Amino acid sequence: TLETAHWAGNQLALAELDSSRERLARAEIRALRAQISPHFIYNALTAIGSFVRTDPERARELILEFAEFTRYSFRAHGEFTTLAEELRSIDRYLIIERARFGDRLQVRLQIAPEVLPVTLPFLCLQPLVENAVRHGLSRKPGTGMVSIEARDAGAECHITVEDDGVGMDPATLTTGIAELARSTGDPGEDSGQHVGLSNVDERLRSVFGDGFGLVVETGLGSGTRVSMRIPKFHPGVRAGS
């Protein structure tokens, strides 16, 4: 009887732990959505509005891309998605941003077809691309390049998002992330990059383990490169779950 009670207690504890993890995952996704909505929606609508009279057909196409982007970003179900779905949403985001920046924003994709079905946390890659545009290139005069690479690495998929923008002091990045970890208030506009990076890093580690966090390489005037490793198969991880 004691053994049965002990086993039942352990099962209840595990169930509560799983429930807590699910609540945390939902909270982290809400945080990322809050980061996306204020600045990007305003800028997207402004860009679309600029074409309403001069190029109505392009304005219509941008509205449709914006609608699909928001539908994906604010979907109500699924902690995980596929790399293919995340890249489709990123493509819509970049179409809208190119309408704003014109030829100033250049994009390079190198995606191995065999890794497109890989499952990863929802909104895991998109914030990194947004940070590259928002914090790296928007503050850089002239043309800037965002590169997205996903390659097959045996049992893993290796993904990098790189920009040749203004970069930042690595010490400042480390300090900013540490301060966010201690803070419970609004991080403010200037900390948006720290929010996106720390959020994605924590989610990767919570799902796949501490060996699968983000690797960030940056320097003042040297751009930023963010890398992640995603296991192709992991217990309990599947798209739509």
On average, the pLDDT of the chain sits at 80
Distance CA 66, CA 183 (A): 32
| pLDDT, position 11 | 58
pLDDT band at residue 4 under the 50/70/90 scheme: low
Contact between residue 148 and residue 163 where contact means Cβ atoms under 8 Å apart: no
Q: Are strands 105-111 and 144-153 parallel, antiparallel or unpaired?
A: parallel
DSSP 76: S
More confident residue, 29 or 42: 42
pLDDT of residue 187: 43
The conformation of residue 108, written as its DSSP 8-state character, comes to E
The better pLDDT of the pair 96, 140 is held by 96
Do residues 194 and 182 make contact, with C-beta atoms less than 8 angstroms apart? no
pTM: 0.77
